[in-house]
Amino acid sequence: MEDPKIVAERIITNVERVIIGKERELRLAVTALLCNGHMLIEDVPGVGKTMLARAIAVSTGCTFRRIQFTPDLLPSDVTGVSIYNQKEGDFEFRAGPIVAQVVLADEVNRATPKTQSALLEAMEERQVTVDGVTHKMPSPFMVMATQNPIEYEGTFPLPEAQLDRFLIRIHLGYPSKVDEVAVLDAQQTVHPVDQIQQVTDANEILQLQKAVKEIYVDPLIKQYIVELASATREHESVYLGASPRGSLALFRTAQAKALLEGRDFVTPDDVKELALVTLGHRVILSPGAKVKGTTVADVVAACLNRVPVPGARVRS
């Protein structure tokens, strides 16, 4: 297999032609892909959330489906249905849009909790069950869900069980003025997403996912990850801290970051840089902390300050 770092950089460079000026966010998106995880993109409309998902699908040669979540969407509209075939005299499964390699769940918080729950089995178990029959998801499989953090009218907040299934949460944010001019130039005649080419394939992505798991993590760093997750549970401003799934997410993304940087080992800096995007959406603040204006970012930063870094010496 080609050098994993070269393949990953090729994907990032290709997607950058569509999403301009957001290298850190693109690296996090590719990190989620290499970890075989799902990503929640929380941002205002028009900053490129949908284009990011499309560009990743095109660049990797993966099948792409988009689900527009609305209050009247039914679970069967997501998972698929069994229809009676008169010619065959039996029921046949008609797969829903969730059965694809890259799935964009657009405005996922606009669907009812019953429909949102249709994603749970697919995201965690990599399968859907319709009429008692289980159907496997294709590999690789990644859900990229979006939600608007500003407009809450007519929305249903994601339950904690579903938030916990997202490997990372990112915010794209507005581009700089220079980058926004570059966006105008790039889309003057055609959209860049219609011009980018496939730079890898699904089989190579699966090999990259396997390579991520072989990155070495020192026992002291594993302990550091667990201590950080535990610190969020014990913080005075927190009602509910990060779960063990959060520890695993931080562990796996740190491995992927090391691979993206051409290393075969994880450093404490990898863990510190990824703590907020992997643990932040798993932390629920107490009502009193919210009144005081405390944010999840404040809590994660405090935990990073409290937990000793492996190998660091205490100054006298």
- Where residue 277 falls (left for φ over 0; alpha for ψ -120 to 50; beta otherwise) is alpha
The candidate with the shortest Cα–Cα distance to 166, out of 313, 279, 72, is 279
Q: Which helix (H) or strand (E) holds 40?
A: strand 39-42
Q: Which helix (H) or strand (E) holds 59?
A: helix 49-60
The candidate with the shortest Cα–Cα distance to 142, out of 199, 109, 170, 101, is 101
Tell me how far the alpha carbon of residue 183 is from its chain's centroid: 24
3-state secondary structure of 147: strand
Tell me the C-alpha distance between 236 and 32, whole Å: 30
Tell me the C-alpha distance between 62 and 78, whole Å: 19
CATH architecture classification, 4-208: 3-Layer(aba) Sandwich (3.40)
Tell me the C-alpha distance between 288 and 308, whole Å: 27
Tell me the C-alpha distance between 112 and 129, whole Å: 19
Tell me the C-alpha distance between 98 and 257, whole Å: 28
Strands 39-42 vs 168-170: parallel, antiparallel or unpaired? parallel
Residue-wise pLDDT tens digits, 70-80: 889 998 899 98
Q: What is the CATH number of domain 215-306?
A: 1.10.8.80
Tokens linked to 61? 């040669």
Domain ranges within the chain, ordered by starting residue: 4-208, 215-306
Residue 81 exposed, middle or buried by CB count within 10 Å (0-12, 13-18, 19+): middle
Written as one letter, the residue type at 32 is A
Residue-wise pLDDT tens digits, 9-52: 999 999 999 999 899 999 999 999 999 999 999 888 888 888 99
Q: Which residues of the chain have pLDDT under 70?
A: 1, 151-154, 312-316
The candidate with the shortest Cα–Cα distance to 130, out of 79, 176, 181, is 79
> For position 148, what pLDDT does the model report?
81
> For position 151, what pLDDT does the model report?
67
Tokens linked to 51? 């284009």
